[in-house]
């Protein structure tokens, strides 16, 4: 691929990451209005979220199969169209049961997009020969922020949920069709696609090592995103205007981490960035737990995002240098399952502690778990390139 073509591919893949964040935020931030429409409570929301996480795991596996048999670009296009359709179906659902079905459909697409967009990202990074995965994930965060602001604006003018999500769905579908031809559609597994599809050449050790980092990150990430507002409200008595600032501060920190992380990886290596990011994240969580007032907690959430948000793109990039090229797409799809296990554990365990009235102690859980990332730091590439502690034998 020539330089101009690679540049267009990078833009198209960035747009795909942005679309995933946009649709996710646009849907999640409409949940209160859907509650008002259909009259369900917090327990039902939790059940729906768990269902989405489980079905996202299924979608991730399906994306791996499609990538092995066709290409990750094909999987990415199909998955983006599924989440667009899912957003539309959620918005136009006439009653509770169809809405649950629409969320299930969206969950399948969510997992498929998560897997295929990271497949695309590591292919682009490999072609460029330098770290860009942090920036791709940064565009996801930008999409999330835009989606939340979009919902705030459409809610302020009382736009119906069906119209609001319909516009997001249409924009996503149009952008996907426009960018489809620029995604990476070739397969490095062409010589033996069946081997890759069957997973026979997939080394499990790097999948498990970097998957553990993914699990820990998403447990902390989901817990923070889901419970930061509740913590500021109930534990620290923040005003209604201040309550959303914990979420916003974390996302701002995440943006800085991801867009700035690539430069640090190029200069110091992924291992140094992963270790330092973990340390910064631990400090941030410590500030959150010890915060006497909401302003201090908000700073803590920003520092947490600044430290931890780079771990996910680093893990996917590190996996690409630790497994055979023919097995990469399948490896990413399988490692991506840790994303949803982490989300279930983070939202569920922290939620259980929060429900028991121990909101401050709820954030002690990620504070205790995140340092485990240090045990995997040596497996990330150093400044010179490949992961030193993960062997690339065919059987792991």
pLDDT digits (tens, 9 = 90+) for 263-316: 999 999 999 999 999 999 999 999 999 999 999 999 999 999 999 999 999 999
Look at residues 253, 262, 258 and name the one whose alpha carbon lies nearest to residue 281.
253
CA distance 386 to 391: 10
Higher-confidence residue of 249 and 197: namely 249
Q: Binning pLDDT at 50, 70 and 90, where does residue 202 land?
A: low
CA distance 288 to 299: 8
CA distance 359 to 366: 13
Instruction: Tell me the pLDDT tens digit for each residue of 367-387.
Output: 999 999 999 999 998 754 444
Q: What is the pLDDT of residue 201?
A: 59
Q: Which helix (H) or strand (E) holds 304?
A: helix 294-308
Average model confidence (pLDDT) for the chain? Answer: 86
Q: Binning pLDDT at 50, 70 and 90, where does residue 393 land?
A: very low
The yes-or-no verdict on residue 193 having pLDDT over 50 is no
The torsion of the CA quartet 189, 190, 195, 201, rounded to 10 degrees, works out to: -20
Q: 187's torsion region: left (phi>0), alpha (psi -120 to 50) or beta?
A: beta
User: Per-residue pLDDT averaged across 59-83, rounded?
Assistant: 94
Q: What is the pLDDT of residue 243?
A: 78
CA distance 26 to 150: 7
Q: What is the pLDDT of residue 165?
A: 96
Q: What is the pLDDT of residue 384?
A: 45
For a pLDDT cut of 90, what percent of the chain falls above it? 55
Place of tokens 């069946």: 194
Q: What is the pLDDT of residue 41?
A: 73
Kindly report the pTM of this predicted structure.
0.83
Q: What is the pLDDT of residue 2?
A: 65
């Amino acid at each position: 691929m020539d330089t101009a073509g690679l540049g267009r591919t990078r833009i198209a893949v960035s747009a795909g990451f942005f679309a995933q964040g946009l649709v996710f935020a646009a849907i999640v931030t409409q949940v209160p209005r859907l509650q008002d429409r259909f009259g369900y409570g917090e327990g039902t929301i939790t059940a729906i979220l768990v269902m989405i996480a489980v079905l996202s795991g299924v979608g991730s596996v399906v994306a791996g199969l499609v990538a092995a048999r066709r290409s990750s670009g094909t999987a990415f296009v199909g998955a983006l169209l599924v989440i667009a359709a899912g957003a539309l179906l959620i918005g136009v659902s006439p009653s509770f049961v169809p809405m649950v079905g629409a969320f299930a459909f969206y969950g399948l697409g969510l997992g498929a997009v998560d897997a295929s967009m990271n497949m695309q990202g590591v292919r682009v990074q490999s072609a460029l020969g330098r770290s860009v995965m942090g920036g791709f994930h940064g565009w996801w965060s930008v999409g999330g922020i835009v989606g939340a602001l979009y919902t705030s604006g459409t809610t302020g003018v009382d736009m119906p949920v069906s119209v609001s999500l319909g516009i997001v769905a249409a924009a996503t579908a149009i952008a996907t069709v426009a960018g489809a031809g620029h995604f990476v559609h070739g397969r490095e597994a062409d010589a033996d696609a069946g081997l890759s599809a069957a997973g026979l050449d997939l080394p499990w050790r790097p999948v498990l090592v970097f998957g553990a980092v993914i699990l820990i990150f998403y447990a902390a990430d989901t817990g923070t995103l889901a419970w930061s507002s509740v913590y500021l409200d109930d534990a620290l008595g923040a005003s209604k205007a201040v309550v959303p600032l914990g979420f916003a501060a974390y996302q701002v920190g995440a943006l800085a981490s991801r867009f700035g992380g690539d430069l640090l990886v190029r200069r110091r290596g992924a291992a140094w960035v992963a270790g330092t990011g973990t340390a910064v994240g631990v400090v941030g969580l410590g500030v959150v737990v010890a915060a006497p007032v909401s302003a201090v907690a908000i700073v803590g959430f920003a520092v947490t995002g600044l430290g931890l948000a780079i771990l996910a793109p680093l893990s996917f990039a590190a996996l690409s240098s630790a497994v055979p090229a023919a097995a990469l797409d399948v490896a990413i799809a399988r490692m991506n399952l840790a994303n949803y296990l982490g989300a279930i554990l983070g939202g569920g365990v922290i939620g259980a502690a929060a429900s028991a009235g121990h909101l401050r102690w709820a954030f002690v859980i990620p504070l205790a778990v995140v340092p485990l990332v240090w045990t995997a730091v040596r497996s990330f590439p150093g400044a010179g390139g490949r992961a030193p502690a993960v062997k690339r034998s065919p059987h792991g």
